Each structure stands twice: as C-alpha cells, then as structure tokens.
Structure 1
Amino acid sequence: MLDEASLTVLGHLIEARFAFVIFVMDGGKSSRNEVSHLIYRDSIYQLELQYIDLETVEATLSAALEGLVGPRTAEYFFNACGGNFLYLRELLIGSLRSGNIEFNGVMWEITGTQGPTPRLVELVERRLKDLPPDSWCILETLALCGQTSLTDLSGSIKHLESAGLVSVIRHGRRNAAELTHPVYAEVIRSHMTPSSRSAVLLAEAERIRESGARRAADFRYIAKWELDARGVADSYTLMQGSKAARRVYGYSEVKALAEAACRIDGSFMPRLLLGEALYELGEIQRSLSVLREATTRASNETERIYAVLALERALCWGKADVEAALELNDEASERAHAPESRDILSATRGIILAAIGKIPEAMNLLSGLERLPNARIRALGQPTLALCLTLLGRSDEGLILARKAHGERLELIEATVLPHPSQNVGPVACALQESGHLTQAYMLLLKGWDDAVDDEDPECLTMLASSLSRAALLEGRARTARRWASQAVALAKRHNFMGPLYPAWIRLAEAAALMQDKEAAKQALLAAEGMKAWGTFAPELCLGQVWLSAVSGDLADARNKLIESISYARTIGHHCSEARLLTDLCRVGGQKQAADRLERMAQDSSNQLTKIRSRFATAMHRSSPEDLMNSANECKAAGAFILAAEAASSAAGIWRHKGDSRRATASLRMMNQMKRQCEDVWTPGIFFSTEEVPLTTRELEIALMVAEGHTNAEVAEKLVLSKRTVDNHLLSVFRKLGIETRRDLKEALSK
C-alpha cells in the first residue's frame, strides 16, 4: 500500500507524463480520499468495465486462442464467467492448464467443467470474508441446491443482496434467491466438509418431502440430493427423479439416478431411461447393451416397442448402421399385434429412410400419420412427414404441417423416446427455406440452438449445428457455415454420433473450399473418407468435392460430379436437392442444362426457392442483364446472397461489354454489397473488381487450370479442346487482365 506522501509524488509524476500507471478499482468498494483525489483528475482516463455479452466472449476467446471457437464452448465460458472479464481470463487459463479445452483439429472445444483457479478463489474469498454465520448458511444452501425459494431460506438475504453475492428472481408470486455468479458456488462448496454438505442436502430433501413434493421437479432434486448425501435412495424416489430429469433433458442426472435404480430394481423403465441417457452422452455401445436388456425386461408390448425405438435411434444415428436398424424394425413389426404398435414401427421406419435421403419411400410410410389419434405417434412422425412434403416440392403443405407438429410436440409433457422439441425446428426451417425465406429459417434454427444449449441436449445440438451450417451455405455465408459445421463435427465426434458426423464433414469441406482454404477442404474430405454416406440431403454430399474442384480450377470435374449427383437425386425423387445441385451446375458453366431442367421443375413445384433458382439459371443462360438484375434483387430478398452477387456480377460484365458504364457500375455496386454478406466466398461467378474486364466462363475455366500449374496441352486434353483453342483463350485472358506471364496470372486471380 502507498502512503499519502507516495501518492502525492505519483500524482506529480503522472501530471508531468513521467509515469504511466494503470489503476484497478473494485466498483463495489469506496477508496481512501487521497486515492480518489489521485485517480479522478483530468489527466486520468477512466474506463468502467461493463459485463460482456456472448459475442464479446466468443471474440475474446478466438483472439486469445488464435483459432476458431465453437458456439457451444463460447456459451459455456459466457455462462461460467457471468460476463466478468477477469473471471473469463482466469477460467480460460485454468481450462488450458487442466486440459479441459482442446483444439480438435478444427476448432477449440470445451471437454470438461473447469473449477475456479487459485486467483479466482482468492478474489471470491475476499468478498466472502467476515460474513456472519447465518449468511454462510444461506450461501451454502444456494451453492449446493441452486435457486431456492425465499420462504425456504433461514434468515434475511438483504445483506447478501446488497453485497452483490445473491440476487432475487421473481416468478409471478414466488420469489427465489440464487448466487449472482457460478464461481461463488464452486468456492463455497470447496469450504464445506463432506458431512456438512450431506447435512444441508438431506435437510433440503426432507423439507421438500414435508411440503408434499408437489412441483414436477421436486423428486428430481430429492433423488439427487439423497443420492449425493447417502450414496443410496429408495427405488420410487430414484425412478421419479429419473423421469423428472429426463423431462428437462438432464441426461447426466438421468444416468446417475437410473444406474442407482437399476442396482435395486430389476424392471424395464430404469433400463430404458439409462439406455437413452447413455446414447445422448456418447456411450453408444453400452447404450445398445442396456437397451437390449430392457427389451427382455419389458412386461408388455408397449414397453418392448419403446425399447425398440430407442435401439433404432442408437443404431441409426449413433452407429450409422441403417441396415441393422431396419432389420430390428422388421423383427419388431412381425412380433407386434396391436395396431398402435404397428403404426409406431411404420413411422420409425419412415424416419430411418428419410435420414438416408430415401424421401418418397419415407413419405409412403408416413402418409396419413397426422390423422392418427395418438399424440405420441404424431409427435414421432409428423415432423419427418412435413420434411418429406417439402423435399418433394410441396413446401406450402410442409410448412403448415411442420408448424403444427412443432406446436403439438411442445404440449407433450411425457417425452420418453422422443427427441428434444427443438429438433422439430429443422423441418419448419427447411420449409421456410424452400418457401424463399432463407434468413428467417436461419434465425429460427438459431433460436432452436439457444433452447437446446439451455437443456444441453447433445443429439439435438449436433443436428441443429449441421442444419445451421447448411442454412448459412444456402445464403452464401461461408465463414458462418464453416463455424457451424466445425461445431457439428466436434459434437458428433465427442458423443460418437457417427450418422450426423458424415454430412458435417462434407459441409465443412464445402465451406472451406468456398473460402479458398483448399487444404482444410481436403482434410475434411479425407476425414469423411470410408464413412457410411448418411443424411436426409444425401445427393448434396458431393458438394465438398465439387467446390474443391471448382476453386482448384477444374470446373469440368465439378460439372461431372454435379451431373452424376443430379441424376441420383432425380432417381430417388429428391426434388429439393436436385434443384440445389442444378443451381450449382449453372454456377460452374452448365447454364443451359440447368436452366431447362429447373424450368420444368418450377412448373411442378410449390417451392418458391425452386422458382427463384429457375429464374436465376434462365437469366444466366440467356445473358440478359435486365433479367440478371431482376434475379439478383429477387435472390437478395430471399436471402440467397451468393446467387444475388453472381447474378449482379454477370450483369455488370454484360453491361460493360455493351459500353453502358452507368448500369455496369450499378450492377457492380449490387455485387459488392452482396459479396460483403457472403463472408470471404470465392466462386467462378464472382471473379472481377471494378477495374477488371470480365472473363467468359471458358476463359475463367482455362485461367484457373493454368494458374494451378497445368500446361496448355493438359488443359486441352482435360476440356476436350484443341491446344490452339486453349492458346487463343489464354491470350485473351492475358490481354483482358493486362498481364504477361503465368505467374502474373496466378497473382491476378488470387486478388
């Protein structure tokens, strides 16, 4: 501590600019008069640190770690630090030292819960110092039991509230208290002995029992606290607690409570709950074993069917073993007697087929399901039925049913064997996309993600991250798509979801390629190599390789791969994927073929996005600058920013060629506006700045291949052209770009 004389000298040094001093003050405490006099002078710049938001936390972590940080990891640190910058720093340092945050080759991902560092403990203990015993009793209860009703706390919390340690939350007429920061709970618990912890937990459990345990979550807390305190609890309490935890997707709690129940209860239900929890937590093999045991403990057909549903989910999504899932479904169908059981198995078979892109077959099995009286069966199959309608070109019907299904699912309280409600957001978002509302669809998926993060549902988070990646790709926002695909990869790997992992890798490759990060795209494709092709949008799984070929200059290879996948999409009746692939074919030089087919598809479809794509392809094929600008504006309104940029780019080139500089400039302005939305995307359709003369599609294709190191003869052989034709095109490229050598060409294209 500095005395008054030292502070005076320091003040003079600061005024004379001989000293540069940083003061850190605790906003919750008063300062000595001489200190206040020193720091509140005009020469001192004061910065009051505010609590930071989630976006700032993510940006700070990315800067500190010098790499991409997953959305889930950013959410974890935001919640753990409570918006406090100092706490964020200490938690990150602690996580790095303990190995609780790791770089998985794609992004930084949290792998475990991080306790407070010694520095954090010191800071918190300073705030807790000299508190009276009755305050400690309240803090210990809140640290162990979380949010607690004010009427259930012994003593006044006014002192703790004014000290910033406790906050009061109002739920209608009920007021509850909770610690203002999660770090406080960690530090307070570390000061408690095992016996004192047990005493508090048992006292709280007994208090809830005596009050009648009327709230839905009461048995969840009683079971957890009694198990933590004693290591045992009675079977009824454990089962009621497991079910309550399952309703809020607390799978770690379900696992602990259901495991304890299995040790003393030989019945079906604890094994079903345990098997579900193990699947969600990534213990797929053990989940299968427990669920198979559950089928042998089933006392009736309904229980046996529930076990089969959980097994199918673990096989299809966890192991990506669709054949085994369908075989299990067949066996169960042969043994089923009740019509309701057969309806459930028919619905789940449709869901499995939709998961691998067999949309018409899935549709046949799911048709009529929305009219069944059983709400659980409808909740199981309606979202997939709605998705099938959309993917077959009937997005108006798909959107109505998807919204209805989502609403009905939210009303269901008992959710055993049903996925998280936010997973039903996917079909609604897909219908919105195909209805021409791409940005609205992305925002809906983001809301679903936030809800699933709150509940920490791994399967739902994985599926939503992958859907968010595809949604961003449709808009043309490659950096955002890459971030979400990386998150989907990290989640799928961590929880052993081998089904969703494959499309996540492919979307990561596509996004990286569009950002011209060819090495990252190659690594993602290499990681996906040998895995089972899986995904509702199965025909689109070529797009990682397609765009890698395109940015590498091999547009012919990109076109060939697209044509093959388009044929596959048409064969299996996947309208949605075929339309997307045809649009991409148009973007890499196949305008006529794409325009003709898309025009026919648009006539037979209610999907507005297919119609928008058709008009885009037609305008590109006809090279009409007026039509191209109309298409650009239509794509912009739909949220298809990349298509808008490419249409405006083509229009600018044509206007310039015609000598209309005014309209060329306007088109370029539109292109640049859309490019800013597209986040570092590069495609053949966006290839010049305002100073450049536009290249034709063929000139660009040849220029890209030459820039990649191919000789003129190799280019001619690859494109089935004469060498002389290639020579002439290359001379035209050199003239338009004002360059003289192949090295100049590579530099010009990189710009």
Structure 2
Amino acid sequence: MQQSPLVGREAELSAVAAALRRRPAEAVLLSGDPGVGKTRLAQEACRSLGDRAEPLLAVGSEAARTIPLGAFAGVLTGDLEGAGGSLDLLRAARQRLAERGRTAQAVLVVDDAHLLDDASAALLQQVVADRELPVVATVRSGAPAPDAVSALTRYAWVHRLDVSVLAEADVGQLAAATLGGPVDVRAAHVLAELSRGNALYLHELIRSSTAAGLLTEAGGVWRLSGPPPAPAALVELLAARFDRLDTRAQSAVNLLAVGGSLGLSWLEAETGEQALEQLEEAGLVELHVDGRRHEVRLAHPLFGEVARARLPALRARRVRRVLADSLADGRLRRRGDALRLALWQLDAGLPGEAAVLARAAEEATVGLDWTVTERVAAAAWEAGAGVPAGIRLAESMFKQGRRDEALELFETLLPLAVDDEQRVRVINGQAYLLSNQLGRYADAVAAVERALPTISEPKTRALLVQRLAFEHVFAGRPALASRTLEPLLDESSPDFARSSYPAALALWMQGRFAEAIAVSEAGERSHRVSGASHMPAEVQLVPRVLALAATGRAAEAVGHARELVRVTAATNDEELQATGSLVLMWALLAQGSLGEGLAVARQGAATNRKLHDPAALRWCLGGIALAAGQLGQPDVAADAVAELDAAERGEWVLLELDLVERGRAWAAVAGSDLAGGRSVLAAAAGRAREAGLHAAEILLLTDLARIGDAGAAAPRLGELSRALGSPLVTAEADFASAAAAGKGAGLQRCADRLGALGACLLAREAATLAAAAYARARDSRRAGACRRLADTWAATTAGAATPALADTPAMTALTGREREIALLAAKGLRSGDIAAQLVLSPRTVENHLNRAYQKLGISTRAELPTALGGAAEAGRS
C-alpha cells in the first residue's frame, strides 16, 4: 500500500507550517499518543514549506539515549572542531546547526524528543532559545521527558499542539485513500471503532484485514466480511506485555477479552485486587463508573482481539464456563445479559433454558447480527421457546438470503400462534418477506387482509394496517396507502410515529411535497417522544429528504441525508445503512453532485448485494446508471443496466420509474442513443401519470426536456406546476418552455431561479443553453455572460457531460436534430444505422448532415470530430 495523504489534519498542518515560516524562528511541540500521526504531521509541515526547505532530522530512542548527542548523529556529520569536553561539544554542535540554518532553509525536526539523551535535550533547548533555526519536535503524551525538553514550553515562541485521534469521518476518508477506493460505511465504522482514530492502528488493521481476505473490493466499494484480525505487529507488542503479567492478571485479561465489560466487584473476587491494579498501571484496563455500577474493560478493543487470539481452545471454553456461572443464577439485570449468557453457554457446551434463550434471541435481533441471531433463535426454538423464537429464526433466515426456508417457517408458525400479538407478528414478517423481498405484492396484501378481520386489539391491528400501507407504497399505489393510513394519522395517537413514515412517502410520491415534509417532521417529534421502535428517530428523515429535494431545498436535503448516514453508520443495521446511502445518493443527484452520488450509489449497491435485498439493489443500480450516464461514462452506465436486466423483478413500483427507468434512459444517452433515451423517458412518464406518481413524472419530463424534447415535456410540466405549487416544479416547467422556444433571455432567468433552488446541474444546463441561444442570435456579450454564469455551478457539478452542456462554438450553430446526427456520425455510425436508431430515412439523415457540414465549414465526415471539438469527445467518453 502506498503512503496515504494526510487526512483530518488541515488545521494542525496550517498552524505548524505558519509557525515554521516566521522569523525570528519559532518552534512547535507536537504532543500525542503513539500512532496518532505526530511524525507524519511534522514531515508534511516541512514539505509544505517548498522544495528549498531542508529538514534536519534527529530521532530520540532508547538505544541512542546512552550516547551524548546520539539523537543528532545523522545531522552533525563530520568532526566538530574544538569539541573537547561536553560544553565544548554542545557549543560546536550548536554552531554547526546555526550554520546550516543560515546557509539553507533548514528546519530542525526532532522525533520522540521525550527519549533524548541529556546532551541532545540541552542542544535542542539552546537551538530553540537562539531562534535562528525553526524547530518542530514530537513528544509522547504523558511520557517523562528530560528537563530541557519540558522547559521548552516556557518560551513564548514555542507552540504546544496536542494531536488527537482522528474523527470517524476522517478514518473513513483515510481508509478510502489508503485502499484507493470508497469504503462501505459499516466497514469504515468498524475500522474507526477498532482503531479508535489512531492512524497507525488503522493502517495495521487495513493491512491485516486485506491480507486475511476479509477486507475486499467488490463493485468499486471496499467491504468487511468479518471482524478484522489483530495486526501482527500489535500482536507481537501486546504478547510481550501480556507475558510479563502474573498469572492472576493474565486470568483477568482473558476474562475481559471473552466477557467484555465486567463488574468490578465480581472481577476482584475472581482475580484479586492486585491483579487489576497491575493491569491498570500497565494501561491495559479502564474503570468505568455509571451511577452505582463500576465496570472494568480492556483499554482498547484490539487488546481483546490479541488476547482472544492467544487463548487455547480448552482454556477459552473454561473461561466461558466461569463467565456463564457468574450469570446463571438468574442475575440478568442488564440488556444484553441474556445474550451473553446464551452465547457463553453454547460455546462452552452447556445446556440453556428456553426462556433465557428466547430472551437472548430478542436481544440478538436488536444487535442485527443475523448469524448470531439464527444460532441463538434456533437453540431457543429447539428448546421449546415457541412462536417468538420461531419468528426470530425466520427473520434471521431471510436476512441471510434463505427466503424460501423463512417463508416455509412462517407458514408453520401461523397456526401455532397463541394470541393476536403473536399472530400479527407472524403475518407482519410473512408480508414483509413476500412483498419487500420476493416482490409478491398481491400475496402480501392477501395475507394481511385475511388476518385483519380477526384482530380486534387496537395496537396490534394498527401494526397490520401500517404493513398494508407499506405494501401499497411499494406497489406504487400511494393514494390507496394514504387512505389506508388516514385513521392512524392523529398526531396525539401512539400509532402516529410508525404511521407517519409510510404516510410521508405516499404524500411525496403524489407530489404533495409540503404535506410530506410536515408529516415527516411531526413523525420525528413523535418518534423521539415515544421511542416508537428500535430504529433511530432519524429514519423519519427519509421521506423528508425526498420531498425537500423535490421542492427546491436541495442543500437542506443533502444536510439531512448526511445526518441520516452518520447516525446509521453507528448502528449494526446494514439495511438502515443502505437506506441512508440511497437517500444521500438521491439528494446528491438532485443537486447535481454526480461524482459523489455515483460513489454513494456503488456503496449502496454493494451493501444490498450482501443483504440479498433485490428491490433496494435495483434502486442503487438505477442510481449508478443515472449518475454515470450524466457523467458521460457509458460503460459504467451500461454495466449497471446489464445487472438490472439480470436482477430479480418483482411487483415493485416505488423508485422504479424515477430511478431505474431514468437510469436506463441516461445510459442510452451516454451511449449517444438520444432517441432511445427519449423513448424510455416518455414511456415511463406516461406510466407515472396513469398511476398518480407525480414526483416521478416531474423528474422524467424534466429529463426529457434536458435531452432535447422540451416541446413534448413543457405542456404537462406546466399542468403539474399549476396543480402542485412547488417552486422547483414551476422553475422546471419554465425551463422546459424556454428550452422549447430556444430564447436566451428565458433560459437565463431559469438558470438564476434554478440555481437559487439548489438544482445546480439544471441551472448550469439552462445557462449553457442560454449562451448557445444568444450565440445563434450573434449576441456575444450575453452569450459570454451566460457561460460565466454556468461556470458558477461547475465545481458542484464537476464531471457532468449532458447534451445540454455540449456548448462548443461549433455546436451552437446547429439545430437540435443536426447536432444529434452529427454526433452519431462523428462516432463512426453510417447513415443507415443513424436512420434506424432515430427512426428517420437515410435521405433525411444525409440532408441534415449536409446542412451541418455547411454550418461547420467542412465537407466530409472525417472532419466532424475535429469540427465538433469537445462535444464529440464527450460523446465518445
């Protein structure tokens, strides 16, 4: 792996570099734990000073500590004239460094200054006091240092800077830079948790995980398929530390490695106070106090990885028996205790009680580790724990892709249910599996509707009504979903928090954007008050992001989507994480941030492949094609469409038109098949109109206008604008009308409005089309102004290569049809092929080409690529 760029240290790097540039010279003391990146920061600060800067490196170490000026051996080369006693030696060394400082732009870099010998420390202090040579030195936090080093901070021109661990977002960015590609949000979170933001630990974890084949790249995204193994370098280091412990302290380490956080009083009784004190002094354990609870845990997650790896199988079995005995007397007070007891008993070969195993299965489900859930739930089911354990077992099966087994188990469970609550839980799981996973909408609805008349208890009945509404949303019947949920949408009702989510989705699908936002906001408030489910309240942001993007509040939508991704990354719920990726992708594409949108879409697709979620995978593949098509990446878009064609196709309609079909259309456009793209968009818009899916219809018609058929899109967009009253829809309708008319002034006004609403790509396209219209009218001043206006959105929409942006001087002279035919001919297509693709006669194609030749001042096809310039290149990209 190549050296990664410095990440998350922008402020510190700027501060250090600024100090090193000042004269008289100043010094910086970088303090931090081992591995946080102090040395790298010092190196990068020196590099930032330019090629003429000469770093003079001195390194403190235990080995050089016995040699006077041993740390400076690499700097003070040659004999030191006049160096007799120690004072003379220091004086000569000081003079030598001063000379280096005067003859070059030298910077003294002292690494691990806390390990300097006394003479080196004294020399460092004198150089800092002289202020002739800038200095940057690193010290380990909490480590004893020579007095001369400790005294440095007394000087006003010495700046102490504490280098902390990296934030989780920076860990993900650093991991991506190290691996050379985006990292799945869950993998980034696991790496951040295990490394605790320590850059050295992170690099070692990446190295060990890739070597073990656990951190792999698939679909352009790096994912973890299992817990990262402890890095070899850390294993060696900690093994030596563990081996120096006495027997009781080693026993405590083993108990903590297997058991996690353990009660202080129990652990003291088991291993003794002195053992724990020894571990605390060695920095291996930490005491955590929560009210009256005092718990001990290992000081770093990797300590446990190393200790577990060193445990022989029989000793590990004995440790688990001891831990199981500590909880087996019924003291299951904390959430998670039942699961811990069940796993210890199963691993130790001990029998478990059905009630404890059933409770453990519920706790495992909250943790969303489906392999663990299946193991515990299967044990509970076999022990006679009944329907609740069976439900958890079926869920764990379909979450791991074994859908037929799960469906068979649900059918077995239904007649065994003993009350309404159990019956509703079985039907809810069965309907989710039938609809979301298998795409069998009619069967899911039938299962729910058969059960509803038999359920009278209000709360359990509400759960089935909510499930039914979700099925209608997935099947693209939002008006029916709204009617179904209407009795449950009283904000004071305990059912409101759960009902608001599908209700807001249904409102968004119908184009009722302001109502969707209001219901989503109320749902989040209710969710936070009631704790409606195990999911975080931020899940209510999903429909809000979609509606905000549709109404012209793109920046808000992106901000909420990033918050959802941040929250979901800290959970074990990969399905929820995939939802966060999907929503962020949507917001980014609405804004026009295509490059990041493509990266996020790939992450979502990788997660959904692992989750065996066919509907969500289709949405992410549609997003990949949509982003790549607008980026002018036909191969990437075509690969996504090919995977879509091979993927499962259930009775899903949600996001099929506004993501999947739009993705297909833009894949065709990227391949220079504009006619094919228009055909896909027009057909999908017609389907959306028939189903009342106005949110999808607006996007499809706007895309139709963007790729050259504004005349067909403008009338219907005008109708939708008047009916819905959304500022963005109105701006999109006006854009279509202005594009159809080809008037520069109207397009210029649209660009300003669209930009203010955050639709950056559409604004850039409108400004570019305005520039072309002005150029055709020979108004070069306004054309130039519109090109500059388009440039204001170029950074946000970097890489975009849509037809509307093909604004070369040559292209502005051509009509839309001439441009389309000329681009296809520039790609090498014959007239007959172009005619077949555009449903024209070959003679009509030749006539358009001849007119294009005249306008471009050329006479042959071979001259087309050069004459069209950047536009032809974009068509071939």
Q: Mark yes or no: TM-score above 0.5.
A: yes
The corresponding residue for 2:753 is: 634
The corresponding residue for 1:12 is: 76
Instruction: Decide whether aligned partners of structure 1 residues 628 and 47 sit closer, same or farther in structure 2, where only a CA change above 3 A counts.
Output: farther
The counterpart of 2:852, out of the listed 724, 730, 746, is: 730
> Per the alignment, in what secondary structure is the counterpart of residue 102 of structure 1?
strand
The counterpart of 2:223, out of the listed 109, 112, 117, is: 109
Please say if 1:544 is aligned against 2:666.
no
The counterpart of 1:720, out of the listed 834, 840, 843, is: 840
Consecutive unaligned residues of structure 1, counting only runs of 5 or more, are none
C-alpha RMSD of the superposition: 4.0
Query: Distance in 2 between the 1:205 and 1:471 partners?
Result: 49
Q: What's the CA shift for 1:605? A: 1.1
Q: What's the CA shift for 1:159? A: 7.4
Q: What's the CA shift for 1:474? A: 1.4
**TM-score, normalised by the number of residues in structure 2:** 0.75
The counterpart of 1:700, out of the listed 805, 808, 819, is: 819
Query: Distance in 1 between the 2:807 and 2:319 partners?
Result: 69
Query: Distance in 2 between the 1:197 and 1:737 partners?
Result: 83
The corresponding residue for 2:185 is: 71
Query: Distance in 2 between the 1:331 and 1:77 partners?
Result: 47
**TM-score, normalised by the number of residues in structure 1:** 0.87
The counterpart of 1:99, out of the listed 213, 221, 226, is: 213
Please say if 1:143 is aligned against 2:228.
no
The corresponding residue for 1:446 is: 562
Instruction: Decide whether aligned partners of structure 1 residues 646 and 452 sit closer, same or farther in structure 2, where only a CA change above 3 A counts.
Output: same
Consecutive unaligned residues of structure 2, counting only runs of 5 or more, are 1-62, 79-95, 101-107, 128-132, 140-162
Q: What's the CA shift for 1:484? A: 1.9
2:622/2:641 contact within 8 Å kept = yes
Instruction: Decide whether aligned partners of structure 1 residues 287 and 47 sit closer, same or farther in structure 2, where only a CA change above 3 A counts.
Output: farther
The counterpart of 2:195, out of the listed 77, 81, 85, is: 81
Query: Distance in 2 between the 1:37 and 1:747 partners?
Result: 66
> Which stretch shifts more, 548-557 or 688-697?
688-697
The counterpart of 1:397, out of the listed 515, 518, 524, is: 515
Query: Distance in 1 between the 2:591 and 2:544 partners?
Result: 17
> Per the alignment, in what secondary structure is the counterpart of residue 741 of structure 1?
helix
1:505/1:524 contact within 8 Å kept = yes
1:100/1:112 contact within 8 Å kept = yes
Query: Distance in 2 between the 1:114 and 1:360 partners?
Result: 47
> Per the alignment, in what secondary structure is the counterpart of residue 257 of structure 1?
helix
Please say if 1:646 is aligned against 2:709.
no
User: Which residues of 2 match residues 333-344 of structure 1 at below 5 A?
Assistant: 333=452, 344=463
> Per the alignment, in what secondary structure is the counterpart of residue 795 of structure 2?
helix
Please say if 1:614 is aligned against 2:733.
yes
- Higher-Rg member (1/2): 2
The counterpart of 2:506, out of the listed 381, 384, 388, is: 388
> Per the alignment, in what secondary structure is the counterpart of residue 649 of structure 2?
coil
Identity %: 23
> Which stretch shifts more, 622-631 or 201-210?
201-210
The counterpart of 1:30, out of the listed 115, 122, 136, is: 115
Instruction: Decide whether aligned partners of structure 1 residues 519 and 495 sit closer, same or farther in structure 2, where only a CA change above 3 A counts.
Output: same
The corresponding residue for 2:621 is: 505
Instruction: Decide whether aligned partners of structure 1 residues 612 and 139 sit closer, same or farther in structure 2, where only a CA change above 3 A counts.
Output: farther
2:217/2:223 contact within 8 Å kept = yes
Query: Distance in 2 between the 1:7 and 1:433 partners?
Result: 60
The counterpart of 1:456, out of the listed 543, 568, 572, is: 572
Query: Distance in 1 between the 2:415 and 2:856 partners?
Result: 75
Q: What's the CA shift for 1:562? A: 1.0
Query: Distance in 2 between the 1:715 and 1:321 partners?
Result: 41
Q: What's the CA shift for 1:137? A: 5.6
Query: Distance in 2 between the 1:463 and 1:199 partners?
Result: 42
Instruction: Decide whether aligned partners of structure 1 residues 553 and 515 sit closer, same or farther in structure 2, where only a CA change above 3 A counts.
Output: same
Query: Distance in 1 between the 2:240 and 2:810 partners?
Result: 63
> Per the alignment, in what secondary structure is the counterpart of residue 425 of structure 1?
helix
> Which stretch shifts more, 514-523 or 272-281?
272-281
Q: Which amino acid aligns with 1:401?
A: V
The corresponding residue for 1:273 is: 392
The corresponding residue for 1:122 is: 236
* Cα deviations by residue, 1:503-559 (Å, 9 ceiling, x for unpaired): 221211222222222112111111111430534122222112211222222222211
2:354/2:385 contact within 8 Å kept = no
2:491/2:526 contact within 8 Å kept = no
The corresponding residue for 1:310 is: 429
* Cα deviations by residue, 1:230-278 (Å, 9 ceiling, x for unpaired): 5433222222333334345454543333222112124111111222233
> Which stretch shifts more, 576-585 or 240-249?
240-249
Instruction: Decide whether aligned partners of structure 1 residues 328 and 661 sit closer, same or farther in structure 2, where only a CA change above 3 A counts.
Output: same
> Which stretch shifts more, 652-661 or 171-180?
171-180
Q: What's the CA shift for 1:455? A: 2.0
Query: Distance in 2 between the 1:447 and 1:52 partners?
Result: 19
* Cα deviations by residue, 1:286-308 (Å, 9 ceiling, x for unpaired): 33333333223211233122101
Query: Distance in 1 between the 2:400 and 2:303 partners?
Result: 27
Query: Distance in 1 between the 2:486 and 2:708 partners?
Result: 39
Instruction: Decide whether aligned partners of structure 1 residues 414 and 636 sit closer, same or farther in structure 2, where only a CA change above 3 A counts.
Output: closer
The corresponding residue for 1:430 is: 546
Please say if 1:90 is aligned against 2:204.
yes
User: Which residues of 2 match residues 129-278 of structure 1 at below 5 A?
Assistant: 130-131=244-245, 136=250, 139-147=253-261, 154=268, 155=273, 165-166=284-285, 178-193=297-312, 197=316, 213-229=332-348, 231-278=350-397
Q: Which amino acid aligns with 1:742?
A: L
2:219/2:606 contact within 8 Å kept = no
> Per the alignment, in what secondary structure is the counterpart of residue 575 of structure 2?
helix
Instruction: Decide whether aligned partners of structure 1 residues 137 and 600 sit closer, same or farther in structure 2, where only a CA change above 3 A counts.
Output: same
Q: Which has the higher contact order (CA 8 A, sep 6+)?
A: 1
> Per the alignment, in what secondary structure is the counterpart of residue 676 of structure 1?
coil
Query: Distance in 2 between the 1:291 and 1:413 partners?
Result: 28
1:72/1:487 contact within 8 Å kept = no
Query: Distance in 2 between the 1:437 and 1:502 partners?
Result: 26
Query: Distance in 2 between the 1:648 and 1:614 partners?
Result: 16
Please say if 1:741 is aligned against 2:826.
no
